Structure 1
Amino acid sequence: MRNFNLIPIYLIDMKKLFYTLLITFLASNFLFAQLEPGSTAPDFTITDLDGNTHNLYDILDQGKPVLLDLFATWCGPCWTFAETGVFDQFDELYGANGNNSAFTMAIESDPSTSISELTSSALGDWTTVIHYPLANDDQIGDTYSLEFYPTIYLICPDRRVQEIGQGPAGGSGYWTVESLAQEVFVNTCPAPVEGLNAMMQSYDSELVSCGGGKIEPIVTIMNMGTEEMTSCSIQTIIAGDVINSYSWTGSLSTFDSDQITLPEIPANTSNVSFNLVMDGDLESSDDIIDIEIEFATESHAYIHVEFNADYYPGETSWDIRNSNGSVVFQSSYQDGNADQWNGGGPDADMTHNHFTELSEGCYTFNAYDSFGDGQTGYSGSGAGADGSIVVTDGNGNELLFISGNWGSDLLLILRLLMVLELKKF
């Protein structure tokens, strides 16, 4: 869509939003794009406008919570929030120039805008309203699954992330320094336990079983106490039974973590728990993590991709990748020259059919849109309609259907194990 009067100014404009589907027959999950509350924040290294390099995990390992303001230079609500000065005031008290107990950073996250717009945007010079670390990065939007601008994340030293918005939940105003400090240091990022406290931080291995005999679990443990952590055991629990107990030894100071590869579990496991056991542990509520593993379902080896183009087909492409990540089938479409955004052309508003036969195995289907609005129909002059992508197998089973603005709303996951008797199209 190019009728900007109909697009909220906080709508994401991201270069490479993608749908990933671990292909399987008619089994689907819809996941919102934003990071799940309490999930592990992805690490990143970024250089700010002053040339200083910052690594997220290095900052968190110092025990500092991180406030991350992801904005776009054209975003009015982003500018209005920056003008309040509350993050500047918070940084003065708790940042490097204050007691150095927290870190605040703003990142211009729209890949379609250049770094020069930070000082020359239509809204104003962003360097005059943001005086804490300010950077421009084209990849952070993908990394942090942006759905809208502004997005403000609070990341705790245990690496858990929470979207906190521009003001307290249930309130009608912006943060104040006092309410923000309460949110950061008390409500969301509590201090470590005085004494011994081990935490099962995350499960870092596969969540979809697509054939094969075993799954290799990987977990991360963290010291959330003030005393050094030197040993523990990690139990793997299936159907209420402890099937493995892994002994860990090492040295973890407060907020330090270690990623551990555990003994394999059967590939047909649907529910598994990992329980951390440590002598003298003062807090048991963070010792266990429950994981649900989903399964591939058998389906047909012949695949039909029906691509119904919108008015801007050159923005959209797709591919199918095997379990090694290699592209085995793909297509892209031709730009037009009907307007300044390369609309129209021979592929616009047309149906394109693609057929392939895949060997037995697991695959991912990925669709990309460089503008970030999926296949939203052009409405500026009334021309065009929403596009769509429909994936079916040789038996006519619909594996995927996406249409309209799929570029910022959800992630669709499907799974496919292709082993059935073939029936050609």
Structure 2
Amino acid sequence: MKNFLFTLLIAFSLNVYSQLPNGSVAPDFTLTDINGTTHHLYDYLDNGYTVFLDFSAVWCGPCWGYHTGGALEDLYVNHGPSGMPNVSSSTTNDVMVFFIEGDGSDLACLQGNGCGTQGDWVAGTPYPIICTDGSVNNTAVTSAYSIGYWPTVYQICPDRLLTECGQTATPYSLVSSCLPPPSFDNDARTFVKNSANSGCSDIVPEIFLQNYGLTNLNQVTITVSVNGVNQYTTVFDEVWNSNTNSYVPLNLSTLEIADVTLDPVYNLSNNDIIGIDVVLPNGVSDSDPTNNQTISMTVDLGFDNAYWDAPLSINVSGSNGNSWYLKQVSNNLIIASGFGGSVGSSNFFPLTFNECYTLQSVANDVNYIGASYTITDGNGQVILQGTTSQLEEFDNFSTGAEVWTNLDYSIFQNALYFDQINRNLVINDSYKSLHIYDITGRSLFFTDIVLQTVDLSSFSNGVYLVKLSNGDNFMTKKFRISN
């Protein structure tokens, strides 16, 4: 998770979160420019072009400075696609450039009228301009590319991987950093896909598989190890087709990429090293193994001894544009949920011992990324804490054993019991507050004047939770009303 602090001389920040990490697969798009021409990103990449995307906002001063500086204009005119408008007849024919007004401003603003615009962005711009005001295109492309500040300039190589290149004055010098085009018949390439751990001791590894060969890729052999010890070997030869809801044979064309979800790896510990080797494309030796070296992942399973027999305290910043779900991994049960701005929320289903839990944080769009969260267990331990940097993120913790030895209950020994005959909760000492919840976590009763007995004759039969505090410590105990 990264925090970016930018001065006005460098960039204008939208929020606090990461742009797409260098080496990410560029999201494909089909966009129509202000002249009515439609552009498909992967068509340019598949034809060998390196694509530069300038995400800017009309009101952004640094964006205007880079736009009028001429670096991208020279790049397009001298190196753009042969035959395209405004491209030199002596072009190197290996680059494409797009200006994307990613903040949803309309064409009039781009032409210098309204929106606090810095000027006329259209006049004199030789390369395609994309407007995202919703009339033809919208800001979905801004979200897809996780734009967090203006300008953000990406370089996308023909292999579909991107790098944030910044406001460089010599962008063409970066083109040579892209891999050469495919030249072998059988060449598989793999790289890590950012994905969530599936549990607190188990992980489902996910990778990208790319066909970097000239013939279609129909299978590879994948070996997964932990700390150098082989766990399993599998032949990957089919992919899930969401259109047919079925598996179909793997058949990747040149440069095409597939998501590979591998079988779970079990009984892991923090700092274990998962290794993934992909070999034998189409059942033969890889012609270029240098672009397909072993993938290594360091295991981070999160907090592993949370106290379970008490409600959690959950704080999540943000607004209704943020939502969160706390799930019990073994059965996918949602035990708590809410929106940004939650303070002191609790779980409406109780925790259980020796269980794994996952916090799923979701931002509606890029403007809501950057929410922070803190979850504290019943013993006051901070078991999850962080700040989101993507549209969807996961974080895990696990509860401890049934007998949890780190909590000192001596101060609460014989503190209270439930009198079934009289339907009273009996308190044996002086305390600061008492809180009663139903089993879903819904608050039913609270008092900061703790009497010796609390009449619960109006309560229905069932299981309840009582939270008793002496000001410095608290305990939570279950009791049942059954008569």
State TM-score, norm by structure 1: 0.67
What is the distance in 1 between the residues matched to 2:64 and 2:14? 17
What does 1:203-222 align with in structure 2 at a 5 Å threshold? Answer: 203-204=192-193, 206-211=195-200, 215-222=203-210
Q: Kindly, what percent of the aligned residue pairs are identical?
A: 25
What is the distance in 2 between the residues matched to 1:57 and 1:75? 29
2:262 matches 1:266:
no
| Aligned mate of 1:303, from 291, 299, 312 | 312
2:117 matches 1:65:
no
Q: Which runs of 5+ in 2 are unaligned?
A: 1-6, 133-137, 238-249, 352-356, 403-464, 466-474, 478-483
Shift in alpha-carbon separation, 1:251–1:305, aligned structure 2, 3 A = closer
What does 1:107-146 align with in structure 2 at a 5 Å threshold? Answer: 107-110=100-103, 113-114=105-106, 116-119=108-111, 120=113, 121-135=116-130, 136=132, 137-146=138-147
**Aligned match of 2:288:** 283
Contact 2:335 2:349 in 1 (8 A): no
What is the distance in 2 between the residues matched to 1:401 and 1:329? 16
**Aligned match of 1:381:** none
User: Aligned-pair distance for 1:33?
Assistant: 0.9
Shift in alpha-carbon separation, 1:8–1:143, aligned structure 2, 3 A = farther
What do residues 26-83 of structure 1 show as CA deviations (whole Å, max 9, x unaligned)? xxxxxx6122222323334433333444443444333332211111111112112111
What is the distance in 2 between the residues matched to 1:138 and 1:37? 22
2:255 matches 1:255:
yes
What is the distance in 2 between the residues matched to 1:229 and 1:210? 32
Q: Which runs of 5+ in 1 are unaligned?
A: 1-5, 18-31, 168-173, 334-350, 376-387
Shift in alpha-carbon separation, 1:239–1:331, aligned structure 2, 3 A = closer
Corresponding residue SS for 1:91: helix
**Aligned match of 1:362:** 358
What do residues 100-141 of structure 1 show as CA deviations (whole Å, max 9, x unaligned)? 533322212235x45542222531121224332222242334
**More divergent stretch after superposition (365-374 vs 156-165):** 365-374
User: Aligned-pair distance for 1:202?
Assistant: 2.7
What is the distance in 2 between the residues matched to 1:232 and 1:414? 31
What do residues 243-298 of structure 1 show as CA deviations (whole Å, max 9, x unaligned)? 33333566544323344444443252742222222345342222232223322434
Contact 1:233 1:245 in 2 (8 A): yes
What is the distance in 1 between the residues matched to 2:228 and 2:319? 52
Q: Which has the higher contact order (CA 8 A, sep 6+)?
A: 1
| Aligned mate of 1:183, from 174, 189, 204 | 174
Higher-Rg structure is 2
Contact 1:43 1:56 in 2 (8 A): yes
Contact 1:201 1:220 in 2 (8 A): yes
Shift in alpha-carbon separation, 1:157–1:246, aligned structure 2, 3 A = farther
**Aligned match of 1:149:** 150
Shift in alpha-carbon separation, 1:33–1:230, aligned structure 2, 3 A = same
Corresponding residue SS for 1:221: strand
**Aligned match of 1:88:** 73
State TM-score, norm by structure 2: 0.60
2:183 matches 1:194:
yes
User: Could you tell me which amino acid in structure 1 is paired with residue 222 of structure 2?
Assistant: I
User: Could you tell me which amino acid in structure 2 is paired with residue 254 of structure 1?
Assistant: T
